[in-house]
Amino acid sequence: MWRKNKISASVNISKEHEYYLKSIKREKSFIKTTQILVFVIFIIIWEWAARSDFIDTFLTSSPGAIFGLIVKFVEDGSLFKHLYVSTTETIAGFLVGTIVGLLVAVLLWWFEKLARISDPYIVILNSLPKTALAPIIILWAGMGFSGIVVTAASISVVVTTMTLYTGFTSVENDKIVLLKTMGANKYQILKKVIIPANIPSIMSVIKVNIGLSWIGVIVGEFLVSKAGIGYLILYGSQTFKLDLVMMGVFVLGFIAAIMYFFAAWLEKKVIKY
């Protein structure tokens, strides 16, 4: 029966609608192909400029040198060690910052007076340069894994709180009034209206927090870490090994892109569900 309905639904699609669906697919394919081509052309021009001595490879390195260094670090296993350290720190900082920010936003929505009292302090906290305060944060939280995680979380927690709290208070009041007239309590309103209405905002915050968490981790590794992508970049800059610095940047961008695409895929699944 389900197969028959599916077949009949596909038969009932008009030619105009079918053409529209195909045009959307073509546009998506064009965008993805163009994105890949832009990156490939950039790499080709960079390598050509390096081999033709149009740029100083001591300052900019070259794709060939970076790839060779990646192969070397993969063969001796050190790249996976640094990746593991930075990735675990980023995931931990991301989870702490996102979850704490979400809970604080719920708390502020739940207690309106508390939100009014804390409003100027949240604005002040958001304006503080967290990266500049990283040494103090690390001294408070610890000189190792915990300090780096807290540094990463501190960058994203205030942004998460402000974004989600704004979304919570922007939900249509008519829906809340309707539930109240039906006898719903505050928890039921939060569960049935506030959270579902802000799923897109929550997913957007998750994607933003991935980048913010990486920033916090790299800053923390610059200060105290003995391993990780940030440590590689710092070591390369101190010893004037620009190949190592560029390799760290490329690996960092690659891992961050993977995490972002996973978050985007999760967003589609959650919103569709």
Render pLDDT for 113-152 as a digit per residue (tens, 0 to 9): 888 888 888 888 878 777 777 778 887 877 778 888 888 8
- 97 pLDDT higher than 80: yes
Nearest CA to 155 out of 89, 107, 245 is that of 89
Q: How confident is the model at residue 252 (pLDDT cuts 50, 70, 90)?
A: confident
User: Which residue has tokens 């832009």?
Assistant: 38
**CB–CB of 15/23 below 8 Å?**
no
Q: Write the pLDDT tens digit of every residue in 181-192.
A: 887 788 888 888
Residue 123 CA to residue 65 CA, distance in Å, equals: 45
**Backbone φ and ψ of 128, nearest 5°:** -70, 140
Neighbours of 157 (CB within 10 A): 25
Q: Write the pLDDT tens digit of every residue in 257-266.
A: 888 888 888 8
Q: How confident is the model at residue 12 (pLDDT cuts 50, 70, 90)?
A: low
pTM score: 0.77
- What contacts 24+ positions apart, CB below 8 Å, involve 204-209? 204/163, 204/267, 205/98, 205/101, 205/159, 205/160, 205/163, 205/164, 206/98, 206/263, 206/266, 206/267, 207/260, 207/263, 207/264, 207/267, 208/156, 208/159, 209/94, 209/97, 209/98, 209/156, 209/159, 209/160
How do the domains of the chain map onto residue ranges? 2-55, 69-272
Q: How confident is the model at residue 1 (pLDDT cuts 50, 70, 90)?
A: very low
As a whole number, mean pLDDT of residues 60-86 equals 83
Please enumerate in sequence order all residues whose Cβ is within 8 A of that of 231, keeping only pairs 6 or more positions apart, or say none. 82, 221, 222, 225
**Is the C-alpha dihedral spanning 216, 211, 259, 47 positive or negative?**
negative
- Amino acid identity at 260: Y
Neighbours of 72 (CB within 10 A): 12
- 9 pLDDT higher than 50: no
What letter would DSSP give residue 185? -
**CB–CB of 197/166 below 8 Å?**
no
As a whole number, mean pLDDT of residues 223-242 equals 81
Share in percent of the chain as helix, strand, coil (round to 5): 85, 0, 15
**CB–CB of 150/141 below 8 Å?**
yes
CATH number assigned to the domain with residue range 69-272, chosen from the 4 options 3.20.20.140, 3.30.70.1350, 3.40.190.10, 1.10.3720.10: 1.10.3720.10
Q: What is the largest CA-CA distance in the chain?
A: 75
Q: If you count DSSP H runs as helices and E runs as strands, how many of each does the chain have, helices first?
A: 14, 0
pLDDT computed for residue 5 by the predictor: 47
- 42 pLDDT higher than 60: yes
pLDDT computed for residue 30 by the predictor: 83
Please enumerate in sequence order all residues whose Cβ is within 8 A of that of 164, keeping only pairs 6 or more positions apart, or say none. 101, 102, 105, 198, 201, 202, 205
